Amino acid sequence: MLRTQRLIARQVWATAFKNRAVFGLLIGIGLLLAYAAVTGWVSFRQQNETGRRYQQQARQDWLSNPDKHPHRMAHYGHFAFRPKAPLSMFDFGMESFLGNTIFLEAHKQNSVNFSEAGFSTGLLRFGEISMAMVLQLLLPLLLFFVGFGTVATDRETGTLKLLLSQGVSWQRLLVGKSLGLLAVMLSLYGPAMVVTGLLWFGLQSGQVSADQTIRLLLLMVAYFLYLNLFCVIAVLVSARSKTAKTALVSLIGLWLMLTLVLPRASQALGSYLYPAPSKAKFLADIQADVLKEGDSHNPGDPHYKGLRDSLLTAYGVDSVQKLPFNYSGFVMTEGERISARLYNDHFGRLLTIYNQQNRFSKAMAIVNPYLAVRNLSMALSGTDFASYVDFQRQAEQYRYDMAQKLNGLQIELISNKKPGPTDKPYQIDRHHWEEIPDFTYLSPGVARVFEHEAISLLAFAFWAGLLGLIAWRFTKTLTAI
């Protein structure tokens, strides 16, 4: 039985490589993979080196500030740079569109800026050539092109009838054809994964963590399963088609539906069902809520007027200048607390909408293996939307801690009495700037991937079971004619 399947698989392999067109396509896709590997390597090194350099420069600029009022330092601000994950050289994901730098200052939550797409021509919006893109889109198309005639051509030439009459079962035939197509797939997938592993290892200078190792292994398994599905699909469609031409048209139509039509339709429908507010409206709603609850820069604001009166009563004094701490710093602390809470509330509601849109799109992975591997690949590579949100949350927490630390220094070290017209402005020693640590981004563990991409993982099991069931059904119903 195994010998028969090996002979059939060898015949598929030999036929594929005898075809000059197929051989040329294999070479072309191989060159694209090599180009994608080089550009991924260069982009990773350049962007991470640039980020490290500017993060160090921002830190140096922060520490080189002279003696200054702490509130002025809070508005001087700082920068946070998002480093690229090691596997981002394999799958660029959303990184080029989401930005990697954010300016952090008191009383204001800025958005992440300086995305590559923002500085590029419109061509970038058509996609970049990454190794993941080639394996997700082009290699399945090649497998369809090679596999459309695996059974249909034998049916047209009468070879299929001869094979079946000699005792070859449909089960052996389908398995053998699928294994042959799998061998063709491995001729590109194998070298691509070897190169990915070597680049991944080199970009980390050989110091790899268990988390990153698990990510790489899961990525390899996910793509192997994904490409296996397309091998089986090509053979089953070919087996079901009366002619090779019919099989080719059916497979190309299926490829277009899975990789182009369904992904864009699901995204558009998700945005329609769960509309998100514009950036201008989002910021305006936050500002409106801040003004309702309390504007720390408005001396006559009712909230802060009540706060001042309660402090004067509690300390038994008749003016804020007689309080045993800096009243302005206390107001800034309260204002920061209110604005940060309101921002997080609005941001949480916005993320809920985005998550609803993404869940709708991810649910389509059950009927589309392309979506399943795309979402899982970005999550494992650290280039998905969830990774971007995690960076933004960490940056916002750092911004809030920085502002409140400086407000605390103002409360503790700045006199409550206003300086006279001939007095120097109140300042604190510049060594206090060292008390605020530099921003360091901590990437989430691989366990987060299973939380966000459970549907994608289930999709592989669903498709494996579905194709197995279809293949079993075909062995009972297919005919040689």
Contacts of 478 (CB under 8 A, 6+ apart): 170, 239, 240
Using one digit for the tens of pLDDT, what is the confidence trace for 221-243? 999 999 999 999 999 999 999 99
Predicted pLDDT at 1: 59
Predicted pLDDT at 420: 72
**CA 384 → CA 54, 381, 446, distances in Å?**
24, 8, 13
Q: Looking at the 3D structure of the chain, how many domains does it have?
A: 1
Query: Residues 480, 157: contact at Cβ < 8 Å?
Result: no
Predicted pLDDT at 127: 53
The dihedral sign for the CA sequence 305, 307, 309, 311: negative
Tokens standing for residue 243? 């002619």
The span from the CA of 406 to the CA of 61, in Å, is: 17
Query: Among the ranges 90-99, 418-427, 464-473, which has the highest mean pLDDT value?
Result: 464-473
Residue 137 has pLDDT above 80, yes or no: yes
- Cα maximum dimension of the chain: 109
The span from the CA of 464 to the CA of 188, in Å, is: 22
Q: What is the mean pLDDT of the chain?
A: 88
Using one digit for the tens of pLDDT, what is the confidence trace for 168-199? 889 999 999 999 999 999 999 999 999 999 99
Neighbours of 57 (CB within 10 A): 11
* Chain mean position to CA 32: 22
The span from the CA of 418 to the CA of 48, in Å, is: 46
Helical residues (DSSP H) of 85-138, grouped into ranges: 95-98, 131-133
Predicted pLDDT at 406: 93
Of the pLDDT bands very low, low, confident and very high (cuts 50, 70, 90), residue 125 is: very low
First to last CA, the chain: 24
Query: Residues 377, 91: contact at Cβ < 8 Å?
Result: yes
Domain residues for 114? 2-477
Among the listed residues 178, 182, 183, 184, the one whose alpha carbon sits nearest the alpha carbon of residue 239 = 178
Using one digit for the tens of pLDDT, what is the confidence trace for 385-434? 999 999 999 999 999 999 999 999 999 998 887 777 777 778 899 999 99
The span from the CA of 100 to the CA of 96, in Å, is: 9
The dihedral sign for the CA sequence 376, 380, 384, 389: positive
Query: Residues 385, 94: contact at Cβ < 8 Å?
Result: yes
* Chain mean position to CA 232: 29
Among the listed residues 101, 99, 49, the one whose alpha carbon sits nearest the alpha carbon of residue 78 = 101
Quick one: DSSP state of residue 78?
E
Contacts of 180 (CB under 8 A, 6+ apart): 8, 9, 10, 11, 12, 13, 16, 150
b/e per residue 459-470 (b: at least 16 CB within 10 A) = bbebbeeebeee
Using one digit for the tens of pLDDT, what is the confidence trace for 4-21? 888 889 999 988 888 888
The dihedral sign for the CA sequence 382, 86, 93, 27: negative
Predicted pLDDT at 113: 67
* Chain mean position to CA 124: 17
Using one digit for the tens of pLDDT, what is the confidence trace for 141-162? 999 999 999 999 989 888 888 8
Using one digit for the tens of pLDDT, what is the confidence trace for 313-364? 998 988 888 888 898 899 889 989 988 999 999 999 988 998 888 888 888 8
